[in-house]
Amino acid sequence: MIKGGKSKGVIEKLVSVGLSEEYSDREYERRNYGSYYNLDKIRDGLRSVNNNKLFDRIKSCGEKRGNFCGSCWCVRCRERIGKILEDRVSGYIDQLNLNNEDLRMVSGVIGLSDFSLREVNRNIKWDGLKWKRMKRRLDELGNKGFISVGYEFELVNGSFMFYGKGDVDLKNERENEYKRDQILGIFDDENYRFDVDKRKLFLFNHFHGISNLKDDELEYVLGSEYFVNGKKIKKNSDCGWYVRNFDKDKDLDVNLKRVCGYGFKNVYRFKYNFIGSDYKNGEYLSKDELGRLISLYDEVKGRGYRSLFRNMDNLDIE
């Protein structure tokens, strides 16, 4: 048995060797993988997890009228899914006569889970209990308001994120550190991490959406529902969510389309930061990882994609 200070050095060396081997394996595949057509990546990923039926659906999407595969990795269906959220928010905008200055982009953390449908559904169900309590507080507000969001289930390789640099864009190192620190903070609260091993693959489950509620109204409606260890997550607003105003230099329609489609990305890489336009930061998912992720979204989405959304308003309260 290794004792004392030597054990830490030996463990770190073993971790370093293991990561180097995994980086080498991914680099070997990456040389050609980066030049693949996306449909080829999807095909190889789904074949690796024996889900040929889903690939056939994605490949044939749109061949017949009304034929939709329903996958976020299909350009046609990804836009269709984002349009569901966009149409819902547009209805509120028309009803309340809102504009850019009235709307905010909101993002919140559901929790961490292992890479399984069962645990993702458990996260969603737990989040739903929070929204029921929030709805009661929303109904107590004097002003009319709404919150509409879409869920995102982001795959994280804990070994890469916490124990090695990997394929990280050093220009965004501050943002990379922020994301690592935020997820590490979530690990400290057992209510959010659901027995996840941070040295392995896990899912960072969260949502992005839109609300017209002001800062003080969000603080009242959310209460402490999204606090971790009794306080807001690092860099988030006082309500517990990340909140930012719409871009004033962009048209409302542009802002609306961008935010409503933000959570439904066709991911092919791990992502070390929260920069939406940064698609070159992180190792490519292996074929098996990509196939499992595409399959998980297909299983979790529910009839009419209803499990991908959460919504509430108090417009029927007089």
pLDDT tens for the chain, residues 1 to 318: 444 554 545 445 444 445 555 544 455 455 444 446 899 999 999 999 999 999 999 999 988 777 899 999 998 999 999 999 999 999 999 999 999 999 999 999 999 999 999 999 999 999 999 999 999 999 999 899 999 999 999 999 988 888 765 555 555 566 678 888 888 889 888 878 777 888 889 999 999 999 999 999 999 999 999 999 899 988 899 999 999 999 888 999 999 999 999 999 889 999 888 766 555 667 889 999 999 999 999 999 998 899 999 999 999 865
Phi, psi of 42 (to 5 degrees): -65, -45
- Which contacts of 88-94 are long-range, i.e. CB under 8 A and separated by 24 or more positions? 88/148, 88/309, 88/311, 89/146, 89/148, 89/210, 89/256, 89/260, 90/256, 92/146, 92/148, 92/212, 92/313, 92/315, 93/252, 93/256
Phi, psi of 201 (to 5 degrees): -70, 135
Predicted local distance difference test score (pLDDT) of residue 14: 45
Tell me whether residue 141 is in a domain: yes
Tell me whether residue 49 is in a domain: no
Can you name the residues that pair with 245 across neighbouring β-strands?
104
In a shared domain, residues 231 and 88: yes
In a shared domain, residues 26 and 167: no
In what side-by-side order are the strands of the sheet with 309-313?
A: 242-245, 104-113, 201-211, 146-157, 309-313
Cα separation of 123 and 66, whole Å? Answer: 32
Q: Does residue 148 contact residue 89 with C-beta atoms inside 8 Å?
A: yes
Cα separation of 154 and 204, whole Å? Answer: 5
In a shared domain, residues 180 and 266: yes
In a shared domain, residues 135 and 203: yes
Tell me whether residue 69 is in a domain: no
Nearest to 80 by CA among 267, 244, 312, 261: 261
In a shared domain, residues 102 and 191: yes
In a shared domain, residues 131 and 207: yes
Task: Please tell me what DSSP assigns to residue 231.
Answer: B
Cα separation of 105 and 37, whole Å? Answer: 32
Predicted local distance difference test score (pLDDT) of residue 171: 53
Q: Does residue 266 contact residue 72 with C-beta atoms inside 8 Å?
A: yes
Predicted local distance difference test score (pLDDT) of residue 28: 44
In a shared domain, residues 261 and 191: yes
Q: Does residue 113 contact residue 196 with C-beta atoms inside 8 Å?
A: yes
Q: Does residue 67 contact residue 61 with C-beta atoms inside 8 Å?
A: yes
In a shared domain, residues 20 and 166: no
In a shared domain, residues 94 and 202: yes
Tell me whether residue 280 is in a domain: yes
Predicted local distance difference test score (pLDDT) of residue 255: 94
**Number of independent structural domains in the chain:** 2
Tell me whether residue 154 is in a domain: yes
Q: What is the enclosing helix (H) or strand (E) of 180?
A: helix 173-187
Tell me whether residue 295 is in a domain: no
In a shared domain, residues 265 and 209: yes
3-state secondary structure of 263: coil
Tell me whether residue 41 is in a domain: no
Cα separation of 256 and 105, whole Å? Answer: 9
Cα separation of 121 and 112, whole Å? Answer: 12
Cα separation of 252 and 83, whole Å? Answer: 15
In a shared domain, residues 26 and 152: no
In a shared domain, residues 12 and 159: no
Tell me whether residue 279 is in a domain: yes
Which domain, by its residues, includes 183?
81-286+302-313
Predicted local distance difference test score (pLDDT) of residue 144: 95
